[in-house]
Amino acid sequence: MKKRIAVLPGDGIGPEIIEQSIKVLTSVEKRFGHFFEFAYGSIGASAIDEFGDPYPESTHKLCLESDAILFGAIGDPKYDNDPSAKVRPEQGLLKMRKDLGLYANIRPVTIYNALLDRSPLRMDIIKDVDLVVVRELTGGIYFGEPRGRSEDGRKAFDTSIYSDFEIERISRIAFNLARKRKGAVTLVDKANVLATSRLWREVVGRLHDEEYKDIKLDFLFVDNASMQLVLNPSRFDVILTENMFGDILSDQASIIPGSIGLLPSSSMGVYTPLFEPIHGSFPQGAGKNIANPIATILSAAMMLDDAFNMEVEALSIRKGCEAAINNGKLTPDLTDSEKVCTTSQIGDYIADFINELVL
């Protein structure tokens, strides 16, 4: 099978972790008889430096002409530390999501038995955790208008807007995903305070009653949900929520397995799907060959599974990642041992595992 993949390394450790995903995908390509065309584009701070635009038209065109997008990370201290900057790397990510219609962000949280002691939570709390956060990605306070500052600069305002259409389409994804899992959806909102949250409850409840009665549906306020993620995370199957709450809760959930460097994600919608690790650009580690590439490699596995229907190939990558973890092939974020591995060594190990895997 031939597929064209838009590769957007981005900033910080992005190029290093993306290199390992390409290494692993090349092994998949050879082992299973596929052909992957890797076409590179600029985004974020690197794109600002080159084009003056964090998401240039050439990158958008590349994404539209590809079968899937593999993305690294975005962000640079020279913009983070300058509150007056008119153009920021993160604007490129938001624009890409909006222009590609990527309204559904899916973030699975998987526990590895070999890393139970790395979690800040007790083993008995996390051992049965297997959840997915389904986050609406193109609406809410991040995109609502009007926004801005008062003329004297002493007041600022943002607007959160949702339509029933936006809520229904992301809810269908959550309910359909739950049917393939444990059959439970938890809607997280703040319906006791926010009008948008009350609309979410109304639309999700109606859709459930009309089409998804086989799914168990419950509701939690976001403050309670954040506590339950720490006290009893195994109670969750599929968490459905709006943009800002999903941004916060999915990052909170990411610490459960022991490192944010373990969690992949996909963003699906109208046009080309995007696959990326959930972590940031980690500029302090850029160029040091210390970043954990597993989240990015697992994002490539999600791409094979969800975009290309290559289930066996995706499974081979997941087995390779699990083998690396079980055999102590770990980057500094996951071990205090002197036998720490580099970013490239992890990529080499997983690529070799796929080459030698008995099918």
Annotated active-site residue in 82, 164, 214, 223 = 223
CB atoms within 10 A of CB 82: 11
Annotated active-site residue in 251, 271, 306, 352 = 251
Verify cis geometry, omega within 30 degrees of 0, for the bond prior to 146: yes
237 is catalytic: no
Annotated active-site residue in 247, 305, 333, 348 = 247
What residues have CB less than 8 Å from 153, skipping those under 6 apart? none
86 is catalytic: no
CB atoms within 10 A of CB 128: 10
189-192 long-range CB contacts below 8 Å, 24 or more apart? Answer: 189/219, 189/220, 189/221, 189/222, 189/241, 189/242, 189/245, 190/221, 190/222, 190/223, 190/245, 191/219, 191/221, 192/221
3-state secondary structure of 223: helix
Annotated active-site residue in 40, 142, 216, 271 = 142
142 is catalytic: yes
Annotated active-site residue in 95, 98, 190, 319 = 190
- Max CA separation in the chain (angstroms): 68
Query: Which residues are marked as active site?
Result: 142, 190, 223, 247, 251
